[in-house]
Every structure is written in C-alpha cells, then in structure tokens.
C-alpha cells in the first residue's frame, strides 16, 4: 500500500530535528505551511511529519486550526475562493499543492469523513460504489467485481455482517454508527493512503464511539489516519501520536503517551489538564 519509491524520490532534505530516514516512514509532511482566510491567518509555519500507518490525533482549543490543517491535506479548503496557502504539503512524497497536481488525484489519495455522517440518499451498495464511479466513470466493471468491491469495503469497516442482506436499502436509514462506518467504507474502493477524520465520533453515543474507535484501530497499518478530537480520553486511547495546536501553530508533536504524561510545553500541560479550551 505504501509507495516507498515516491518517498525515496522526495527531493528536499529532511527538516532539522526530524528523525533520520528509515526510522519512521512519513505519509504526510508539511513545511512552512501558512494559510489565510482572506486577511485572517489561521495557520502559521506548520512543519509536521506524520508517520505512515499510524493514528495521529490533532488536539487543541476551539478555533486553534485543527480542521483547517486537516482540510489542507486534501485541499478541501480551496472550495472557498478566499483561502490562500503557502509552503508545501507532501503526501507520500508528492507536493499536493504543486500546480501540476490534479485535485481529483489528491482527493483519491486522501479521503475524509466529517463530524456528522453524510451518506448519500442512495442504497448502501451505491454509497460504497459512488466514489469509484466518480473517479473512474469510463471503466466498466463486471457485476461480480462490483459485488466483491462492496463486500471488501464493508468487511473492512466491520459492517458486512450487519448489512449484507439489505444492501439495496436506503443508507440514510442506518444508525449513526453504521452511517459513519459506511462513510469510511465509501472511501476505500479508490484506494486512499490517508484518511482524515474531523471529530468522527462527536455525533455518536459512547457505544457507537467505541465501535468507531475499534474500526480506526483496524484500519491503522494499512491506512494513515489523522483524527481531530476534543475528547482527551479518545486521543489517549485511540491515537499513537498526538499533535497539540494553539492559535494556528503546532506547539508539540509527540508519541501520545509522552505528550500526555510528560508534555514538553507548559501550554500543552495546561490544555490537557483542562485549564483552558
Ligand atoms: N471558512 C472560514 N472562513 C473564515 N475563517 C475561518 C473559516 N474556517 C475557520 N476559520 C477561522 O480559522 C480559525 C481556525 O478554525 P478551525 O475551524 O480550523 O479551528 P478548529 O481548531 O477546528 O476549531 P473547533 O475545535 O471549534 O472545530 C478560527 O479562528 C476560525 O474562526
Ligand atoms: Mg474543527
């Protein structure tokens, strides 16, 4: 799944302080990333190296830029005409902001799920196949191949046994947990490398949250997951690395245990101890 050739061909030397090559394979790397909404600067000099196959959580008080950073990775911010970005964002070694890169390719490599599950008002089966049809409209697939794709995606998100007898039912009738899993399943047929999740459990009850966290854990390894969460307990349980942001800047990026047990910055300690945010 991970394209080592692309990383190896990355032209720029690693950032100062970054780990030596070979120790952790990097899926997403930002350098001097700045972003403005009109005249308002929302991200300042963000330099990050996010490990492939890991779950990395983004935490920080409301308005600190978590969603903005997440949405930069698949360039979804650009739908707003007044957004300006400088710096670079490499996904598997390729700068997704480069003029030669096609947006559709970026969206294929980098899938995204949102706070509220947003299945299309179509059948469960057609939801899973939707992205594939969008990305490869001219490619004819045999029915058996389509069925296989649907089954594989639904099995991966631990939904197959629940829905296999009602694939033609309307997806919007599923429970919120099932809808969120379906929204993840719908990304998989186009073979993304990175999955972005912006507070994927905030609309779910505790049991459904646990189920989606279990799924995230299943997906790690094959996919690189970057999740935004306001829930400190979730960041601790469900991520291996954690990034703390404040006022558009990255304050600290560390292994989750390290960040929670021995944070380097006072601001991080104050936040995780609930002193603000
Ligand atoms: N579409 C937009 N237009 C203008 N400003 C925006 C837009 N989206 C976000 N901002 C501003 O950019 C800053 C970062 O917002 P962002 O939504 O990324 O924060 P966040 O950390 O995700 O917050 P929350 O935890 O509340 O979701 C905030 O000051 C916000 O008001
Ligand atoms: Mg947000």
Would you say the CB of residue 250 lies under 6 angstroms from ligand 1? no
Closest residue (by CA) to atom 27 of ligand 1? 62
Structure-token pair, residue 176 = 């919120």
Residue 80: CB within 6 Å of ligand 1? Answer: yes
Please identify every residue whose CB atom is under 5 Å from ligand 2, which is an ion: 67
CA of 228 from ligand 1 middle (Å) equals: 13
Provide the residue-wise pLDDT of the chain in tens; the chain has 277 residues.
Answer: 333 333 333 334 444 333 433 446 999 999 999 999 999 999 999 999 999 999 999 999 999 999 999 999 999 998 888 999 999 999 999 999 998 999 889 999 999 999 999 999 999 999 999 988 888 877 888 989 999 999 999 999 999 999 999 999 999 999 999 999 999 999 999 999 999 999 999 999 999 999 999 999 999 999 999 999 999 999 999 999 999 999 999 999 999 999 999 999 999 999 999 876 5
Ligand 1 pocket member 64 (CB < 6 A): yes
Instruction: Give 57 Cα–ligand 1 centroid separation in angstroms.
Output: 17
- Closest residue by CA, ligand 1 atom 12: 42
Number of Cβ within a 10 Å radius of residue 1:
11
* Whether the model pTM is above 0.85: yes
* Best CA proximity match to 193, nearest among 21, 18, 26: 26
Q: Is the Cβ–Cβ distance between 104 and 136 less than 8 Å?
A: no
* CATH H-level, domain 4-272: superfamily: P-loop containing nucleotide triphosphate hydrolases (3.40.50.300)
Sign of the torsion formed by the C-alpha atoms of 71, 34, 91 and 227: negative
């Amino acid at each position: 799944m991970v394209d080592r050739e692309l990383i190896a061909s990355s032209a720029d030397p690693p950032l100062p302080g970054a780990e030596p090559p070979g120790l952790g394979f990097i899926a997403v790397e930002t350098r001097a990333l700045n972003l403005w909404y009109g005249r308002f600067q929302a991200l300042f000099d963000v330099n990050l190296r996010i490990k492939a196959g890991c779950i990395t959580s983004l935490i920080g008080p409301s308005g600190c830029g978590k969603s903005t950073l997440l949405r930069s990775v698949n360039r979804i911010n650009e739908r707003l005409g007044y957004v300006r970005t400088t710096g670079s964002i490499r996904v598997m070694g390729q700068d997704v902001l480069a003029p030669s890169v096609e947006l559709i390719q970026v969206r294929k490599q980098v899938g995204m799920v949102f706070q509220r599950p947003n299945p299309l008002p179509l059948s469960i089966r057609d939801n899973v196949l939707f992205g594939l049809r969008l990305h490869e409209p001219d490619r004819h697939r045999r029915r058996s191949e389509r069925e296989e794709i649907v089954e594989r995606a639904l099995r991966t998100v631990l939904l197959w046994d629940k829905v296999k007898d009602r694939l033609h039912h309307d997806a919007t009738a599923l429970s919120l947990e099932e809808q969120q899993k379906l929204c993840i399943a719908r990304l998989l047929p186009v073979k993304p490398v990175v999955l972005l999740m912006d507070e994927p459990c905030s609309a779910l009850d505790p049991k459904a949250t646990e189920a989606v966290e279990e799924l995230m854990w299943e997906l790690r390894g094959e996919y690189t997951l970057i999740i935004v969460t306001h829930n400190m307990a979730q960041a601790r349980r469900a991520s291996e690395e954690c990034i703390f942001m404040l006022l558009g800047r990255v304050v600290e990026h560390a292994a989750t245990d390290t960040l929670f047990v021995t944070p380097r910055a006072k601001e991080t300690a104050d936040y995780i101890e609930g002193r603000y945010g």
